[in-house]
């Protein structure tokens, strides 16, 4: 796993906090290290959240499942991410989604009452936690907009243009997700995603070559958003 304090520094919860300060926190406040395999269930929707949980290693996925069995991938939680931070101190503090490990996962946990002591004693951690909750709110608002209010073509267009901005490229984008993972992100079937990608390719908006996408007509792609 490596040095615990060094890994915790990768979490936004400890942004601008030194390794020495983190070491003092881990020495003073009780915590546990837990591990999960891909065969385990980390949490099911409706389970109570009584601990702060930070991913130290591996990846958790948060999926929302309908009665028909269709699911939408809400988020992927990699190293440094906090699991469901906005729900930790909620009145109805339950997981709203299923959370599953997709590989071997190691997490840092601290009971919420102990974490509350940390927040009361350390203003930097408190500020970072408030900012994380605010970012979660913004992320979920964007997710609702993406899943509910756009066509599949619109979702693809927005995703490609956002990746182009993140990758600082005007024309060539390298997808960072598989077709299935992208379909899960959009809440659509893999077949529907592939069909829409093919349409955009055939209509000359983009050129698709595996995970490499070349933006051919940016104006028309913007119009799809």
Whether the pLDDT of residue 152 is over 70: the answer is: yes
Region 54-72: mean pLDDT is: 80
pLDDT in tens, 99-125: 999 999 999 999 999 999 999 999 999
Query: Do 128 and 57 fall within a single domain?
Result: yes
Mean pLDDT of the chain: 88
pLDDT-based confidence at residue 58 (cuts at 50, 70, 90): very high
Radius of gyration of the chain (CA): 20
Q: Which of 6, 132, 154, 139 is nearest to 79 (CA)?
A: 6
Query: Do 145 and 183 fall within a single domain?
Result: no
Q: Which of 163, 192, 169, 37 is nearest to 104 (CA)?
A: 37
**Structure tokens that stand for 80 in this block:** 């440094």
Query: Do 49 and 78 fall within a single domain?
Result: yes
CATH of the domain at 178: 1.10.10.10
**String of b and e for 84-103 (b: at least 16 CB within 10 Å)?**
bbbbbeeeeeebbbbbbbee
Q: What is the pLDDT of residue 99?
A: 94
Whether the pLDDT of residue 176 is over 90: the answer is: no
Q: Which residue has the tokens 């051919």?
A: 216
CATH of the domain at 57: 2.60.120.10
Whether the pLDDT of residue 67 is over 70: the answer is: no
Q: Tell me how many domains the chain contains.
A: 2
Query: Do 12 and 42 fall within a single domain?
Result: yes
Which residues span the domain enclosing 190?
152-224
Q: What is the pLDDT of residue 147?
A: 61
Q: Which of 221, 155, 144, 215 is nearest to 188 (CA)?
A: 155
Query: Do 79 and 134 fall within a single domain?
Result: yes
Whether the pLDDT of residue 66 is over 80: the answer is: no
Query: Do 139 and 162 fall within a single domain?
Result: no
pLDDT-based confidence at residue 2 (cuts at 50, 70, 90): low
Query: Do 123 and 191 fall within a single domain?
Result: no
**Structure tokens that stand for 184 in this block:** 């899960």
Lowest mean per-residue pLDDT among 21-30, 61-70, 148-157: 61-70
Query: Do 45 and 99 fall within a single domain?
Result: yes
Query: Do 80 and 109 fall within a single domain?
Result: yes
Query: Do 139 and 161 fall within a single domain?
Result: no
Query: Do 93 and 167 fall within a single domain?
Result: no
Q: Which residue has the higher pLDDT, 223 or 110?
A: 110
Q: What is the DSSP string of 120-134?
A: HH-HHHHHHHHHHHH
């Amino acid at each position: 796993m490596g040095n615990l304090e060094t890994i915790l520094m990768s979490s936004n919860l400890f942004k601008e906090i030194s390794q020495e300060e983190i070491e003092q926190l881990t020495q003073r406040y009780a915590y546990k290290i837990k591990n999960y395999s891909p065969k385990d269930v980390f949490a099911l929707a409706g389970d109570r959240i009584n601990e702060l949980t930070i991913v130290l290693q591996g990846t958790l996925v948060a999926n929302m499942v309908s009665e028909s069995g269709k699911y939408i991938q809400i988020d992927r939680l990699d190293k440094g991410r906090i699991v469901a931070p906005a729900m930790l101190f909620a009145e109805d503090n339950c997981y709203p989604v299923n959370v599953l490990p997709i590989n071997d996962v190691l997490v840092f946990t601290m009971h919420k009452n102990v974490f509350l002591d940390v927040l009361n004693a350390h203003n930097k951690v408190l500020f970072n936690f408030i900012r994380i909750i605010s970012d979660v709110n913004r992320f979920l608002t964007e997710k609702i907009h993406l899943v509910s209010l756009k066509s599949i073509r619109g979702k693809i267009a927005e995703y490609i243009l956002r990746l182009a901005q993140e990758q600082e490229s005007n024309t060539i984008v390298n997808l960072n997700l598989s077709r299935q993972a992208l379909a899960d992100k959009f809440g659509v079937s893999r077949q529907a995603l592939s069909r829409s990608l093919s349409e955009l390719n055939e209509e000359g908006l983009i050129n698709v070559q595996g995970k490499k996408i070349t933006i051919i007509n940016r104006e028309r792609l913007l119009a799809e958003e």
